[in-house]
Structure 1
């Protein structure tokens, strides 16, 4: 519930500090006095747009703060806890606007983005403006009102989630379908290329090995001659070879060791060298025995090398990269095959998500139809009280599968018949301005009872209503005030007299400056204010007597 509203340098208000109580508070004042200024100021605390014109002329900034009790507002307390902004059982919203148009927002002393004020505001205050009944002519507003009355939050969340899943899946399928022709063309080319490379089947290191083997066979004669010469020098030379010379050196080292043991290492080194020479000669001999210079093998290698180089030119890669290129093409072809399977899978998912959406939408629609019957009876009873005794109000809910949306598939239309024999038609076509005001007010009061908002503001919603009807409106708002805090800006004495308390708005001009004030009225002051509303500027004993009677009633 709203406990206190403080206003500094806002519009034509220099300073106001207003305390509010439970029940219905009537707010009246002379025309042009700024009866709605407190509501406009409160709107800033709830996240409404502000600009430099909101600042009182001559002031540096405007500041508005609103203090709420959260004792019976669990939704707001949960929101504050979730956002780490809790302050016991109270909540203070504050907004400052500088004269250059910049504004700042605070919740419980913490600076917050404006979006957080807008998120928290509807949990604390519901504002019904004087033009709200015109908004009721729009089908989307009628749907929103029905859902608010029925408290369809969970069903709407389920429908919204199902709809988003359906649209995401649909987008995936469309993206795959749009690129399908490109994939088909690419797959045809890849299939040909991969088939050719599969047939050639070049190994990972094969090209380097082919090059090496080709080089060996191309130089086979020189290789053979060099091997033979090496063997000759190492061990087979008749007159002199390294092995025989080393043998002699080993004998000489043995003699030297006999003379001086310190020279033993020389013999060891020469023995090692002799072994190395013998092994080198043997290795060359074995290699020479295995060496084959087959012209057919050479021709086969030369042909495979040539084919590898031809394919590398065709695919615009280096011969050494041909194997990796082959693997890349294979991977891409596999991916394209997977995309085709994915296309079928996504199509099946789309059908399943569509079915699930309609299941959730049907549940929501069935609930809407059930609550529509309940709402239309309440509104019919309400407007009949408001001097439309033969009126009939109907909420038509039509399920349309072609109209998929985040809010379901329903088309909602408020229909009304105001006179006997008159068919039910769209409310915009049938109702006059005064009738529309009464129907709109009846709907607002009924939905306000159902929606758990601790503070409700009715800003001149009784425009176009007078006489006995106004008295009924006043009783409706007072009855609503028994369970919910109600602030009602009105110009009708029949409505204002029903308030549990009364505040008066006045405007004064002093020293070239205009200033608005707002003060609570005691019983006698209320009588005089109601008399003013009844009779105008000239207050007589009769109007005072009527005012007392109205207030006592």
Structure 2
């Protein structure tokens, strides 16, 4: 729902800032006061092309802003969330148009393109009037409207899912056929696997080889360290650790009878002697196991060199060669079974196409019934809205191309005959802006906003009508407002009286410059404005009484 609209230095509006609410809001005012400026601003906030001529004379730029309240399950909320532009339930559209021709846009404070504005605004607001930006003129939107009116959501979802499955199988088949000559790829894979299988690629083996290479490279240094340690632990000689230990023990043992406390020290020296013996044995074993064979070193170097070369050629680390081998083997197995896989996929494609045909057939039958019903209901409403003899025809035609389409087997085109005896023409080709607005109103009332857009704006929907027909238009707008937020720019009191609230646009001249201003009318203000709209140079008590009566009568409507 649109909750706020802000304009600054836009055309003849210096600054306009007003809040909106649910229900039917009407905007009235004298001719030329700038009633349609609000609609023009919403069009620009919906991504329309910006003309620097909209910047107020003497200003550097025009600023436009619109704030919306979005339901948690709305498509707009999902669209914002997907692009990381969401701000909980709030959505702010802003656009700046410079007098030099530049234009910038923002969505919730983040820079956006005009295309993004249009895509998002299409889910938030729908504008009907004498312009070419109406969503109802788009054939895709017309098909969605038909499905919404008929409650075809489940049928349409089944068609979409069937198409998704069909598309996935087709893409898989194209992937099989898009990789060049399979025979050449098979030969290449076999050659690469022969090289990979010739070596042990287990990551643990590679790690073991690397450690062995380090030991072999340091073998001489290790041998010298072992020999030095063995000499220092030698049993004989005064320089060895064992000899020094034994000498110390014997010296202490001779005096323990005089100092018994030394017995514990002698015991510790005995323990140390045993540990020295164990250390000497370990050094002896390590020396025996040490590889000093040059052939072993060369063999390790060759194997590691081969592994490095394979890794370099395939642009992976040595530890990843085993995974690469497994992937190439899987690809080879798939290619060797290519004919079998192609046959299976072709069967799956045929089954998916048959499922789509079944789902699309059910949707087509429902659409045909709904098209007739929608045409009948809208035609009856057109009659009520003063288009005597007018009728709406929903034409369904096959989708282009033989392949399954995500929207179903047909396209929809809303065709209209505005007067009796005239052949139906596509809605997008209807010439009269007033007729187009009333037809749009009839469609929206019949479907009660079946397209799901929460806010609808009607610009001069009452153009060229008056009297009882104008009152019918007002009643239809009010009925529509029970389901959607509706804004209507009007010059007829019969329409304005049906509003739940009302704004008045006026203009004044200050220092030789025309400025437009907008104010929300209270109860007495609405009476005065309706009296003005009822006509006459002088507002009489009778006119005021008539205005009060119209408002009272409208208030009794839902």
- Which TM-score tier does this pair reach, normalised by the shorter chain? 0.5 to 0.7
- Per the alignment, residue 354 of structure 1 pairs with 353
Answer yes or no: is the 8 Å Cα contact 2:474–2:494 preserved in 1.
Answer: yes
In 2 relative to 1, CA 129–431 (structure 1 residues): closer, same or farther, beyond 3 Å?
A: closer
- Per the alignment, residue 34 of structure 1 pairs with 34
Verify: 1:103 aligned to 2:95, yes or no.
no
1:169, distance to aligned residue in structure 2 (A) = 5.7
- Per the alignment, residue 13 of structure 2 pairs with 13
Verify: 1:500 aligned to 2:523, yes or no.
no
Deviations 1:142-174 (A, max 9, x none): 424313434656654554464466567667768
Deviations 1:305-338 (A, max 9, x none): xxxxxxxxxxxxxxxxxxxxxxxxxxx9999976
Write the distance in 1 (CA, Å) between the matches of 2:79 and 2:415: 37
Moved more, 42-51 or 360-369: 42-51
Verify: 1:371 aligned to 2:361, yes or no.
no
1:442, distance to aligned residue in structure 2 (A) = 0.5
Write the distance in 2 (CA, Å) between the matches of 1:154 and 1:25: 34
Deviations 1:457-485 (A, max 9, x none): 11222334333111101011112223432
Write the distance in 2 (CA, Å) between the matches of 1:57 and 1:13: 10
1:488, distance to aligned residue in structure 2 (A) = 0.5
- Per the alignment, residue 143 of structure 1 pairs with 143
For residues 107-146 of structure 1, what are the structure 2 equivalents within 5 Å?
107=108, 110-114=109-113, 117-131=117-131, 142-146=142-146
For residues 395-474 of structure 1, what are the structure 2 equivalents within 5 Å?
395-397=394-396, 402=402, 404-414=404-414, 438-474=438-474
Unaligned runs of 5+ in 1: 191-203, 206-331
Deviations 1:210-249 (A, max 9, x none): xxxxxxxxxxxxxxxxxxxxxxxxxxxxxxxxxxxxxxxx
1:446, distance to aligned residue in structure 2 (A) = 2.8
Q: Residue 476 of structure 1 aligns to a residue in which SS?
A: helix
In 2 relative to 1, CA 430–517 (structure 1 residues): closer, same or farther, beyond 3 Å?
A: closer
- Per the alignment, residue 201 of structure 1 pairs with none
In 2 relative to 1, CA 399–383 (structure 1 residues): closer, same or farther, beyond 3 Å?
A: same
Moved more, 490-499 or 519-528: 519-528
Write the distance in 1 (CA, Å) between the matches of 2:452 and 2:368: 22
Answer yes or no: is the 8 Å Cα contact 2:473–2:495 preserved in 1.
Answer: yes
- Per the alignment, residue 280 of structure 1 pairs with none
Unaligned runs of 5+ in 2: 188-196, 199-330, 554-558
In 2 relative to 1, CA 544–367 (structure 1 residues): closer, same or farther, beyond 3 Å?
A: same
Write the distance in 1 (CA, Å) between the matches of 2:112 and 2:374: 37
Write the distance in 1 (CA, Å) between the matches of 2:530 and 2:92: 34
Answer yes or no: is the 8 Å Cα contact 1:454–1:484 preserved in 2.
Answer: yes
Write the distance in 1 (CA, Å) between the matches of 2:425 and 2:120: 35
Deviations 1:193-220 (A, max 9, x none): xxxxxxxxxxx99xxxxxxxxxxxxxxx
Answer yes or no: is the 8 Å Cα contact 1:448–1:456 preserved in 2.
Answer: no
Answer yes or no: is the 8 Å Cα contact 2:393–2:416 preserved in 1.
Answer: yes
Answer yes or no: is the 8 Å Cα contact 1:7–1:15 preserved in 2.
Answer: yes
1:96, distance to aligned residue in structure 2 (A) = 3.3
In 2 relative to 1, CA 402–538 (structure 1 residues): closer, same or farther, beyond 3 Å?
A: farther
- Per the alignment, residue 240 of structure 2 pairs with none
Verify: 1:535 aligned to 2:535, yes or no.
yes
Write the distance in 2 (CA, Å) between the matches of 1:89 and 1:36: 28
- What is the alpha-carbon root mean square deviation over aligned residues? 4.8
Answer yes or no: is the 8 Å Cα contact 1:130–1:462 preserved in 2.
Answer: no
Deviations 1:481-529 (A, max 9, x none): 2343221011222211211222111233333433221112233433343
- Per the alignment, residue 381 of structure 2 pairs with 382
Moved more, 393-402 or 370-379: 393-402
In 2 relative to 1, CA 494–132 (structure 1 residues): closer, same or farther, beyond 3 Å?
A: farther
Q: How many residue pairs get matched?
A: 415
Larger Rg computed on CA atoms: 1
